[in-house]
Structure 1
Amino acid sequence: MGRVWTCAGLRWAERGPELCWVGGRRSALTWGKRVAFAVAGGGERTCRGARGHPCPLRAPVPGRSTGARCEECARLERAHSVAADTVADDPRPYRVYLAWFGPGLVKVGITAAARGPARLLEQGAVCFTWLGEGPLMAARRTEEMLRAALGVPDRVPYARKRAVRGALPLTPGERAAEIAELHARAVALAGRPESLTPEPFRAVDHAGAFRLAEAAGGPAAVGEVAELVPGGAVGGELLAVAGPDLHLATERGTVVLDARLMPGWELVPAEGRPCTVPVREFKEAGGVQDGLF
């Protein structure tokens, strides 16, 4: 069977996206790269653990879970999550942002200032702008105020992001138009926390980093991987990566793989094998633009 690898997830580094493996190895996801793997037959998917520690029970988790954690490990992970609003005394500075994923799909959020744009890359934000920087609670209050005043959410399901990704405006200016208007409305609001230093509008466009324009030149995606299964294989040419989504050109057409489905499985090389995992077909042509990995 050869060497077995266990995926620890996808991360965005300065040089671009990369797959992380248990044990510390990383694999850069370069454009045009042929990526192929299979799930070891006869095995089951096990919990990835929490806070960098393995699950003590090696509990089984469903193939369609994007969290890949059992109930106890998910609770532990969430207990230390700023996003879950369970941490109130973090002394680090935080930044508030507006993120745009496609026409009519904008969210407001916060991220630690030291992380820079990493959080936006992880979420698959096609473009974004900073709104301000300050203490955690000031950033959190600003986020809540903007949700109510601007009518934008703080969470967007990945399925909706994929659904609008196939109809993106062509130019950075067009892609930034919605967040430019919302930024102007945000800075005009009264009652914002004084400890949050406002930041001027400056759109940062990730379409190039994701390679969405190049992928859009090919055929529209036909579907997305529903789950990995024992013995199932995935293989194809990497066209684009947006957030956790790997867009691959396979013999079945362009398919999207959410890399969050990979942790917890034992994976082996599978060069030359066809794509044999369950694929959920898109109902509308062009609903998602790219393919799998």
Structure 2
Amino acid sequence: MTWWCTGIRWTDGRPAIGWYGDGRGERVSELAYGQRIAFAARGERHCLGVRRAGKRTPCPTADTVPGRAGNAQCPECARLDRSFSVAADTNAADPRTYRVYLAWFGPGMVKVGITAEERGSARLLEQGAVAWAWLGRGPLMATRRTEELLRAALGVPDRIAYARKRGVRAHLPAATDRAREVAELHARAAALAGWPESLERVECEVADHAGAFGLDSLPGLPGPARVLTEMVSGGSVVGRLAGAAGPDLHLADGLVVDTRLLAGWELTAPGDEAVTSVPTAPIPSASATPAEQGGLF
């Protein structure tokens, strides 16, 4: 029985690696900071099909997926996935309560987004938000209108590239400084006119994910220097897990493993003498990555 990796999963604020077995459902392997991790890819990378309402439908053609693709889906499954998606605005009738959030990833790196209230902070963990706060809650379309209002009025981008987030994680300001910046941005956002009447405002209460991500240990280790760019059949990753944020695993030697690139592979235990032998690329340093976000507040 083959178990295919589905990438990182954040459950109760802790990271785990997800697995899918056709006919056997899904399971996870919990991760602990400080543990040794070692795995090798075998065979070909396969499409993981479509996951909806907690259930996964296998790809009907069992297509293969390019190793460098950020999404382990074939074009047809990706199209089907987006045909009923809140993110793609193709599921506007979703009756659930949604929340608008303010997410902070580093100095000058802020975005506004929405997530289903029942998911709690899972979306913030998945994106790698270091600090964050709720802005409001209400029906889907009200939160979507609020999201667009804040983006347009404040110049907040739709997304922040993972490369920028990785470049600053080992050099973040103190928790008190992070909280102060988020609180100031929350106040400025709340002062804007034009919020939908059906949206309930939420008072500022800043949360911080540094502990969940293991970021407190990163300053004493080599800064993130290289990132996995592709898994290849027979390629191995070996190292000690120092932290995790969003889809990224931070190893103690400075390698960052983007677990989106693990999804769709069968991963096996390498030999005792195995070393990391997969394609990687340098991560731009924080000084080489623009810190300011044009037009923000």
- Taking structure 1 as the reference length, the TM-score comes to 0.91
Task: Specify the alignment match of 2:285 in structure 1.
Answer: 284
Closer/same/farther in 2, CA of residues 176 and 15 from structure 1, 3 Å limit = closer
Residues paired across the two proteins, number? 280
3-state SS, counterpart of residue 65 of structure 2: coil
SS at match of 1:166: helix
Change (3 A) 1:122 1:271: farther
1:39 aligns with 2:71: no
Question: Among residues 175, 196, 200, which one is paired with 1:197 in the alignment?
Answer: 200
CA separation of 1:131/1:30 partners in 2, compared to 1, >3 Å: closer, same or farther?
same
Query: Aligned to 1:124, which of 101, 124, 128?
Result: 128
Segment of structure 1 superposing worse, 263-272 or 218-227: 263-272
Residue by residue over 1:199-226, the C-alpha shift from the partner in whole angstroms, topping out at 9 and shown as x without a partner, is: 1111100011101111221111220011
Equivalent in the alignment of 2:255: 255
Residue 211 (1) aligns with residue 214 (2): yes
Distance 1:287 1:268, change over 3 A: farther
- Stretch deviating more after TM superposition (107-116 or 269-278): 269-278
Return structure 1 stretches of 4+ with deviation > 6 angstroms: 285-288
> Structure 1 stretch 171-180 or stretch 226-235: which is displaced more?
171-180
Cα-to-partner distance string for 1:49-96 (whole Å, 9 max, x where unaligned): 112111111112111111111111111111222112211111111000
CA contact (8 A) 1:4 1:267 kept: no
Unpaired segments ≥5 residues, structure 1? 289-293
Contact 1:167 1:286 in 2 (8 A): no
Query: Is 1:90 aligned to residue 94 of structure 2?
Result: yes
CA shift digits 1:239-285 (9 cap, x unpaired): 00001100113xxx320001111111121111531000011123438
Query: Percentage identity across aligned positions?
Result: 57
Gaps of 5+ in 2: 290-297
For 1:70-219, list aligned pairs within 5 A: 70-169=74-173, 171-219=174-222
Aligned mates of 1:62, 1:68 — CA distance in 2: 8
Question: In 2, are the aligned partners of 1:12 and 1:118 still within 8 Å (CA)?
Answer: yes
SS of structure 1 residue aligned to 2:254? strand
Code of the residue aligned with 1:9 in structure 2: it is: G
How far residue 287 of structure 1 moved from its aligned partner, in angstroms, is 7.5
For the residue of structure 2 that corresponds to 1:91, the secondary structure is coil
- The Cα offsets for residues 98-120 of structure 1, whole Å up to 9 and x where unpaired, read as 00001110000000011110100
Distance in 2, matches of 1:274 and 1:256, equals 15
SS at match of 1:246: strand
Letter in structure 1 aligned against 2:283: F
Give the letter aligned to residue 34 of structure 2.
Answer: G
Structure 2 equivalent of residue 13 of structure 1: 11
Matching residue's letter, 1:10: I
TM-score computed with the length of structure 2 as normaliser: 0.90
